[in-house]
Structure 1
Amino acid sequence: AILIEKLDTRESEHSLPVLTLYTKHPCPLCDVAKDQLKDLLPRVRVVEVDIEKPGNEAWRQCYRYDIPVFHLDGQFLMKHKADPDLLEERLDALASAS
């Protein structure tokens, strides 16, 4: 029964829109951006991509001067700073479309 409950939880997590944050460590602007979006984070699955890690050279080339950068479900959303209103608007649009 426990395994089934865990599977159900994972399934629901994967049905959430994916908010990808392109970042590096340290990134104080990224920390501020995440804090500004904290009320909306339960509505998404957050994936952080460290542009400095090996294998992420293409993202580093694209975004090294622009982090934080956010994509929603693989589509560019915003960069340099967080816009909670924009994220909420896009999440509402996704919810009404499904």
Structure 2
Amino acid sequence: MAPLRACVGCARPLWARSLSTAPRTPHLTLFTGTHCSLCDDMKEVLDEVRATTPFTLSLYNIRDDDAPNVHYWRRKYQYDIPVLHVRWGEAQSPEDYELVRHRTEADALSQALQRARRAESRVESST
């Protein structure tokens, strides 16, 4: 039996289209370091944004020698922390979308998350 289609000639089944339009919770990764006051400021902004915008959060300390791929991330961000990445699905790596770096305010971060959500939706709808 052929899958239901949203319309004649549509590439994806109706059930797949309806699932892809459901909003997904973004996962944020905050690249931090020890004794980093900007990182502490970014964590406060994230706490403020979390009150109105749902997301999950992982902290990645680039100074932790036991962290996975630490040498790559340390070389990449040793002079730039904090850096915040966003991803929408398990198949993506945290590197897929850098959201902000160094400093941000709660309103600016909320807007950046909305832009990232719209960009992700466009990518999803084009597949």
DSSP-derived class of the 1:40 partner? helix
Q: In structure 2, what is the Cα distance between the partners aligned to 1:38 and 1:28? A: 16
- Residue 31 of structure 2 corresponds to residue 22 of structure 1: yes
Q: In structure 1, what is the Cα distance between the partners aligned to 2:81 and 2:75? A: 11
What corresponds to 1:81 in structure 2?
103
Contact 1:70 1:79 in 2 (8 A): yes
RMSD, aligned CA: 2.1
Quote the offset at 1:18 in angstroms: 0.8
Deviations 1:34-93 (A, max 9, x none): 112322125110111110122411100000000010111131011111242332124335
What residue ranges of structure 2 are gaps of 5+ in the alignment?
1-23, 88-93
Of Structure 1 and Structure 2, the greater strand share is in 1
Residue 60 of structure 1, aligned match among 62, 68, 74? 74
Contact 2:99 2:113 in 1 (8 A): no
Q: In structure 2, what is the Cα distance between the partners aligned to 1:30 and 1:90? A: 18
DSSP-derived class of the 2:28 partner? strand
Q: In structure 2, what is the Cα distance between the partners aligned to 1:79 and 1:90? A: 12
Of Structure 1 and Structure 2, the greater helix share is in 1
TM (norm. structure 1) is: 0.70
TM (norm. structure 2) is: 0.56
What residue ranges of structure 1 are gaps of 5+ in the alignment?
1-14
DSSP-derived class of the 1:29 partner? helix
Rg larger in 1 or in 2?
2
